[in-house]
Structure 1
Amino acid sequence: MNGFSELHRASISEGALSSKIKELIALGIAITVRCDGCIAYHVHDSIKAGASAEEIMETIGVAILMGGGPSVVYGCEAMEALSQFANLEQHETAKK
C-alpha cells in the first residue's frame, strides 16, 4: 500500500498537467470503470485540488460519453459525492 500511495502522489503531482486536471482525469476513469470508492476519492481530491463543481460536472459528462449507459449510473454516484462534499463544506463553514 505504501508503494501504491507513492505512485498516486507521484502521478498526481504538478507537471505538464496540473494536479487538478489529473484528478479530473482520474475521476473520469473511475466513472467509466465503475469504481464506487474511486469515484468518491477522486471527487474529494478534485475539489481539494481546486476543481469547481462545473468542472466536475463536465468531467462526468465526458465520462458518460466514453463509458456509455453504465457510466450514467456511476456519473450519478459522482454527482451525489459532489453534493455530499458541498454539504459537508457548508456545515464546516457554518460552524466557524
Structure 2
Amino acid sequence: MTEETYAAVRKRITKANAALRQGQPDTFKGFNMIHHQAMQDGALDHKTKELVAVALSVASRCDPCIAFHVPAALRLGATREEIMEILSVTVMMGGGPSLMYAAHVMDAVDEELGKAED
C-alpha cells in the first residue's frame, strides 16, 4: 500500500464510488441489501462476520476492504488479539502472500487504535 492512511483510503473510495452510485443506483442498492442481510446477527454474530470479512480482505489482497472492515470489527468489539487469531487462520490457508498482507491489517488496527508509528 502507499503511504495513504486507511482513513484516507475509505474517504477516497467513497468519493470515487459516488459517480458509480449515481450512475448505477440499483447496483449499490443491491449490494447494500446483500451487505445488510449478510452482516445481520444470526447463527454468527456481526462481529464474527466482520472478522471473516477481515480474513477475506487479506485473502483477496484488498486494501480498501481492509480499510472498511478493520474499523467495523473494532467498533463491534473485536480485540487486537481476535484480529491476530483470524489472521493466523488466513495465513494458514493462504501461506506467505497472506502473511505479507496480514501486515496491512495490523497497520490498519494500529491506525484505528491510535498506535500508528511515523
- TM-score range (shorter-chain normalised) is 0.7 to 0.9
Give the distance between the partners of 1:78 and 1:20, measured in 2 at CA: 16
Query: What are the Cα deviations for residues 3-50 of structure 1, in whole angstroms up to 9, with x where unaligned?
Result: 112211110110010001111011111101111111121111111111
The Cα shift of 1:82 comes to: 0.1
Among candidates 94, 106, 113, match of residue 79 of structure 1: 106
RMSD: 1.2
Structure 2 residue 36 is matched with structure 1 residue 24: no
Structure with the greater alpha carbon radius of gyration: 2
More helix by share: 1
TM (norm. structure 2) is: 0.71
TM (norm. structure 1) is: 0.86
Q: Which amino acid aligns with 1:83?
A: D
Q: Give aligned-pair identity as a percent.
A: 41
Q: How many residues align?
A: 88
Alignment of 1:1-96 (within 5 A): 1-87=28-114
